[in-house]
Amino acid sequence: MVHEDPVSESHAANEPSPEILELKEADLPEMSVLYEATRPGRKICPRIQKLGTFLGIRNEGKLVVMGGLRMHLPGYREITTVATMPEHEGHGYATAVVAELVRRIREHNERPYLTVRTDNTRAISIYQRLGFRERTRLHSTTIVCASN
């Protein structure tokens, strides 16, 4: 999906604006827990933060949402690894993180894009509200990252 519209919905209407934090290397253990909770059977690459900035939201001190930047092509930047702990869905946290990533990408006069599984209708709906539109459908295979 490619960001086309300047729509910016930062959070759910009934929720206060969450504090969005830039995640650091020290956050990797919590990022791993979040990733594995939302992608059963998969593990996060320990070098993931070398790809780009990652943002997150904490609730009661616990990392409950994250998203980051990955591939950087001339004029385009990919949003990746958006994840919400299941018990924290519906609060607008992922929407706030993606909206902030879009803002940061647009600030550099680049165009945000992302990939999403076609059966992830909840995420697709969020992305559409934020101004993303389907560009093309791809077939992909997940490659497991070596732990070294």
pLDDT tens profile 108-147: 999 999 989 888 898 899 899 999 999 887 776 766 655 5
Angle between helices 121-129 and 93-107 (to 10 degrees): 50
Taking the domains of the chain in order of start, what are their residue ranges?
A: 2-133
pLDDT tens for each residue of 7-35? 544 444 455 678 999 999 999 999 999 98
Predicted pLDDT of residue 13: 46
pTM, two decimals, is 0.83
Q: What fold characterizes domain 2-133?
A: Aminopeptidase (3.40.630)
DSSP string, the chain: -EE-S-----S-TTSPPPPPEE--GGGHHHHHHHHHHHSTT----TTGGGSS-EEEEEETTEEEEEEEEEEEETTEEEEEEEEE-GGGTTSSHHHHHHHHHHHHHHHTT-EEE----TT-HHHHHHHHHTTEE----------PPP--
How many angstroms separate the CA atoms of 46 and 148, rounded? 8
Q: What is the pLDDT of residue 10?
A: 42
Q: How many other C-beta atoms lie within 10 A of the C-beta of residue 35?
A: 18
Question: pLDDT tens, 50-95?
Answer: 778 999 999 999 999 999 998 888 999 999 999 999 999 999 999 9
